[in-house]
C-alpha cells in the first residue's frame, strides 16, 4: 500500500546520479554504516538539505543525536512525536527552505508499547504484557530490540504517509548488518520451534514443571519468579505471534522496496572502510538498493593540488630566507624574531607535506574501493562539531554539490 505522494519529483528517476537525485526520487533513505563515522550527522544534513532544495515534508528519524544536535533540531529528549524545525531556524541560517523539515527521535520503549497495543488480542492481555517485568527489560534494554524497532518505526511512519521523504539514522550496533536482519530474525523468533518448546510445560498445567531437571536447575539459578515471568511473557506473546510475523515481513519488504534506498556512510580509515565494504556487499546480496556511499571526514582536496606541494617544499627548503624577508613585514613579528619564524615556516611546510601524504593515501583507498556505487560522495572534515542547522546545511552542500 502506498501513501499519497505529495512531492513533485518523487517516484521519478533522477536524470544524473547524485545524492540530490536520490533524495528527490526515493521515499525512504536509510543512513547506515560503522559506528562513529557520522551516520546521525549525515542523515540530518541530507534531510535538511532535501527540505531546503527539493521541498515537500521531510522527516529525519534520529537514533542517537549528540545533545546539541538534538537541541538544534528541536527534538526534546526521546519521544516518538515528530517536531517541525521552525522556519526561523532556517532564517537564522540564512536560507529559505522550499519545504518543511521535521525531526523525531526513536523511542524504543514507546515503540514497543505501541506495537503491543496494536497486536494484543484484548485489553487484559495487553495490560499483562505491558506490566510483565521481562517484557519491560527486553523492550527497554536489548540492543537487538533497538534494531528491530527502528525499522518497525520506519514502517509505521511510512504507512502514515505524512511525509514525502523519510531519512533514517540507524542505531549503533556491534554489527552494522544487525538491523538489516532484524525484521527477518524477529519473524523467525516468533515462529520458532524453540519458542513453542519453551512455553509448552507452562501452558500445560498438568505437567509438573518443577520436576523437570532443566527447570530445577534454572529455578535454582534464576529464581522461580524470573522463570514464571518468562513463561508468562511467552504465553502472552503467543497471542500476538501472527501479527508480529506478518508485520516483520512487511517491514522487510519495505526495506527491499524500490522506494527505499541505503546510504552507506564511512570514513577512509581502514577498519570502518572494510566494514562499510562488507556492508555494501551485504546490501547487494539481499537485493537492497545501495543509493550512495558517503566518505565522511576526508581530508580536503586542496591538499592534492601540486601547487600546494611546491609551496610546502619551498617553505621547508627556503625557510630561513623567507623568514628574513617576512620578519618586519608581518604585524607583531619584528626582524629579531626571524629565527622563530623560520622554524614555524619549516614546521608548517613539513606538516602540510604529511597531510598531503595522508590525502594521497585516502585518494588511493577511494580508487581501490572494490564496490563503488553509482554515487560516491566525499565530505571533508569540518573544523568544528556539526551541531546546528547552518553546520548541517554546509555539510549538505558537500553531500549534494550544486
Ligand atoms: N564531516 C564532519 N566533519 C567534522 N565532524 C563531523 C563530521 N561528520 C560528523 N562529525 C562529528 O563526528 C561525531 C560523530 O558523528 P555522528 O553523526 O554522531 O556519528 P555516528 O552516528 O555514525 O555514530 C559528531 O561529533 C559529529 O559532529
Ligand atoms: Mg549515530
pLDDT in tens, 273-301: 999 999 999 999 999 999 999 999 999 98
Ligand 1 contacts CB of residue 153 (under 6 A): no
The pLDDT score that the predictor gives to residue 324 is 94
Neighbouring CB atoms inside 10 A of 29's CB total 26
Ligand 1 nearest-atom number relative to CA 265: 22
Q: Provide the strand spans (E) within 158-221.
A: 165-169
Q: By the 8 A CB rule, do 93 and 106 touch?
A: no
Ligand 2 centroid to Cα of residue 319, in Å, is 44
Grid coordinates belonging to 173: 550496533
Ligand 1 contacts CB of residue 38 (under 6 A): yes
Ligand 1 contacts CB of residue 35 (under 6 A): yes
- pLDDT-derived band at 134 (thresholds 50, 70, 90) equals confident
Choice among 118-122, 221-225, 249-253 with the minimum mean pLDDT: 221-225
Question: Which of 30, 40, 41, 47 is the best mutation target for the ligand 1 pocket, counting ligand atoms within 8 Å of the beta carbon and taking the most?
Answer: 41
Percent of the chain clearing pLDDT 70 (strictly above):
84
Domain positions in the chain: 19-189+252-299+381-399, 301-368
The 10s digit of each residue's pLDDT in 162-186 is 999 999 998 776 666 777 888 788 7
The 10s digit of each residue's pLDDT in 328-343 is 998 999 999 999 999 9
The pLDDT score that the predictor gives to residue 215 is 62
User: Is residue 6 over pLDDT 90?
Assistant: no
- pLDDT-derived band at 200 (thresholds 50, 70, 90) equals low
Ligand 2 centroid to Cα of residue 383, in Å, is 19
User: 250 to each of 32, 151, 233, 242, 244, how far by Cα in Å?
Assistant: 20, 10, 24, 12, 10
Ligand 2 centroid to Cα of residue 378, in Å, is 19
Ligand 1 contacts CB of residue 292 (under 6 A): no
Ligand 1 contacts CB of residue 385 (under 6 A): yes
Smallest CA separation from ligand 1 atom 8, residue: 38
Ligand nearest 44 Cα, by number?
A: 1
User: Is residue 378 over pLDDT 60?
Assistant: yes
Residue 335 three-state SS: helix
Ligand 1 contacts CB of residue 394 (under 6 A): no
Give the CATH superfamily of 19-189+252-299+381-399. P-loop containing nucleotide triphosphate hydrolases (3.40.50.300)
Amino acid at each position: 500500500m502506498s501513501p499519497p505522494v505529495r512531492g513533485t519529483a518523487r517516484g521519478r528517476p533522477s536524470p544524473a546520479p547524485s545524492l540530490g537525485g536520490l533524495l528527490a526520487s526515493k521515499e525512504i533513505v536509510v543512513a547506515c554504516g560503522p559506528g562513529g563515522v557520522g551516520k546521525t550527522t549525515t542523515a540530518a544534513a541530507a534531510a535538511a538539505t532535501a527540505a531546503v532544495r527539493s521541498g515537500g515534508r521531510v522527516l529525519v528519524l534520529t537514533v542517537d543525536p549528540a545533545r546539541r544536535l538534538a537541541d538544534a533540531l528541536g527534538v526534546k529528549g526521546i519521544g516518538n512525536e515528530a517536531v517541525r524545525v521552525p522556519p526561523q531556524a532556517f532564517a537564522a541560517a540564512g536560507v529559505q527552505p522550499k519545504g518543511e523539515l521535521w525531526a523525531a527521535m526513536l523511542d524504543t520503549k514507546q515503540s514497543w508499547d505501541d506495537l503491543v497495543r496494536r497486536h494484543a488480542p484484548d485489553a487484559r492481555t495487553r495490560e499483562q504484557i505491558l506490566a510483565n517485568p521481562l517484557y519491560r527489560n527486553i523492550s527497554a534494554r536489548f540492543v537487538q530490540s533497538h534494531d528491530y524497532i527502528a525499522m518497525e518505526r520506519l514502517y509505521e511512519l511510512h504507512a502514515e504517509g505524512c511525509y514525502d521523504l523519510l531519512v533514517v539514522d540507524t542505531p549503533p550496533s556491534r554489527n552494522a548488518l544487525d538491523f538489516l536482519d532484524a525484521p527477518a530474525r524477529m519473524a523467525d523468533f516468533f515462529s520458532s520451534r524453540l519458542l513453542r518448546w519453551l512455553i509448552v510445560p507452562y501452558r500445560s498445567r498438568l505437567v509438573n514443571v518443577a520436576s523437570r531437571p532443566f527447570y530445577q536447575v534454572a529455578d535454582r539459578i534464576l529464581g522461580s519468579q524470573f522463570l514464571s515471568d518468562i513463561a508468562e511473557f511467552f504465553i502472552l506473546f503467543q497471542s500476538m505471534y501472527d501479527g508480529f510475523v506478518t508485520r516483520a515481513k512487511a517491514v522487510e519488504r519495505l526495506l527491499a522496496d524500490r522506494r527505499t534506498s541505503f546510504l552507506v556512510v564511512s570514513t577512509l580509515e581502514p577498519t570502518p572502510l572494510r566494514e562499510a565494504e562488507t556492508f555494501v556487499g551485504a546490501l547487494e546480496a539481499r537485493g537492497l538498493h545501495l543509493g550512495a556511499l558517503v566518505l565522511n571526514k576526508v581530508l580536503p582536496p586542496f591538499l592534492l593540488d601540486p601547487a600546494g606541494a611546491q609551496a610546502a617544499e619551498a617553505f621547508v627548503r627556503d625557510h630561513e630566507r623567507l623568514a628574513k624577508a617576512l620578519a618586519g613585514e608581518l604585524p607583531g613579528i619584528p626582524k629579531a624574531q626571524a629565527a622563530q619564524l623560520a622554524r614555524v615556516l619549516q614546521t608548517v611546510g613539513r606538516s602540510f607535506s604529511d597531510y598531503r601524504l595522508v590525502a594521497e593515501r585516502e585518494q588511493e583507498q577511494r580508487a581501490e574501493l572494490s564496490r563503488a556505487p553509482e554515487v560516491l560522495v566525499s565530505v571533508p572534515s569540518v573544523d568544528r562539531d556539526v551541531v546546528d542547522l547552518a553546520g548541517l546545511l554546509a555539510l549538505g552542500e558537500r553531500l549534494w554539490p550544486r
